[in-house]
Amino acid sequence: MLAPLSHRIHGKRHLQLYRSSPKNNGPKSWRIREAIPVPKPGPDEVLVNIKYSGVCHTDLHAVKGDWPLPSKMPLVGGHEGAGIVVARGSLVKDVEIGDYAGIKWLNGSCLTCVQCRQSNESLCGDATLSGYTVDGSFQQYAIGKAAHVARIPKDCDLEAIAPILCAGLTVYKALKESGARPGQHVAIVGAGGGLGSFAIQYAKAMGLHPIAIDGGEDKRRVCTELGAQSYIDFTTSEDIVGDVKGASGDGLGPNAVLLLAVSEKPFQQASQYIRSKGTIVCVGLPANAFIKAPVFDTVVREVNIKGSYVGNRQDTAEAIDFFRRGLIKAPYKVVGLSELQSVYDLMLEGKIAGRYVVDTSR
């Protein structure tokens, strides 16, 4: 059943990306459009009035077109959208009008293929991606598959929870994938950025000792305030491998490494400082990058190297629950949607400590 939309139809703002090159890849430009029609949800979909949306580095990859994955064009970006359900399709029974909901990267999946049945929804061949293959949350009204929208409890602040919908969820899942247990050390590479600042908080909440790696004094301050046990500055350290090992208590290296940086170099370094039997989790997606590790060492030291890609519906619920219990407080700044370009500019320069969140009403 659709809620009446007529009174909401005016003044809708969509950020749209227009391809400026004939190929799928390559840089794109974006612009703001006002008063465009509000989409109607299909039978298994909901329409969410987005209030806030976090800005993820993935959105910048979409603008730059630097991944080997074609995106929809023109496109409304954004995949950390928190808002209120205003309409739902006829088949939707478990999401009510007025509920808080989140549009996350995984907008939908088939729910019937072998990967979906095994709860690996992000590996579904028919998965749709918010702000990439379908329009996302840099707009006031966004569509999501009802089965996949994040259920946000009413006592949560929509502005603060927005970055949990990708950054929080992704690092929480990656920490679980690392197999690190309470009391063990985890190196977080890119710790002062969006994913990294949340990773420090989740790691702490999970009883781990976070070793933060990033560049500059701003990031040092944020990482230390968030509870990193030590901070290694990749721009000044003369021996990153030695410094990371030294920060791991007994000098044998961290039990796990989360690679969140948008730079290839740390993907080449991690195998040199990971503890034997430890796990390297690749999460960041620098363009055209390769991960490298010596085969001999990887075998005789039993090093695990794996990828981790967002999380499923259960991971989402768990990541939100950590936040709801007050365990996750990473810094974020709120700006108007119309200021998105300045956020991208800062992100390109690596100058954002924490996350930016856009308010879709301004």
β-bridge pairing 45-55 and 81-88: antiparallel
Structure tokens given for 72: 């929809």
**Which residues are CB-contacts of 345 (< 8 A; sequence separation ≥ 6)?**
none
Rule CB under 6 A: which of 160-219 touch ligand NAD?
Answer: 166, 170, 189-190, 192-196, 213-215, 219
User: How far, in Å, CA of 7 to CA of 12, rounded?
Assistant: 12
- Per-residue binder mask for Zn ion (CB under 5 A), 157-186, x = binder: ---------x--------------------
The one-letter amino acid at 59? D
User: How far, in Å, CA of 12 to CA of 324, rounded?
Assistant: 30
In this complex, which beta carbon is closest to ligand NAD, that of residue 39 or of residue 331? Answer: 331
- Per-residue binder mask for ligand NAD (CB under 6 A), 212-231, x = binder: -xxx---x------------
Kindly state the smallest distance separating residue 311's Cβ from Zn ion, in Å.
11
Kindly state the smallest distance separating residue 330's Cβ from Zn ion, in Å.
14
Q: Interacting stretch for ligand NAD, rule CB under 6 A, among 87-95, 110-118, 248-256, 259-267?
A: 259-267
Selection from 347, 255, 359, 268 nearest residue 61 by Cα: 347
Q: How many CB atoms lie within 10 A of CB 211?
A: 30
The partner in contact with residue 215, picked from Zn ion, ligand NAD, none with C-beta cut-offs of 5 to 8 angstroms by kind, is: ligand NAD
Candidate list 5, 113, 285, 289; residue touching ligand NAD; CB under 6 A = 285
Kindly state the smallest distance separating residue 191's Cβ from ligand NAD, in Å.
7
Q: Residue 63 region, left (φ>0) first, then alpha (ψ -120 to 50), else beta?
A: alpha
Candidate list 17, 38, 56, 161; residue touching Zn ion; CB under 5 A = 56
Selection from 126, 141, 128 nearest residue 72 by Cα: 128
Selection from 196, 314, 339 nearest residue 259 by Cα: 196
Point out which residues bind ligand NAD (CB under 6 A).
56-58, 61, 166, 170, 189-190, 192-196, 213-215, 219, 234, 260-263, 265-266, 283-285, 308-310, 347, 350, 352
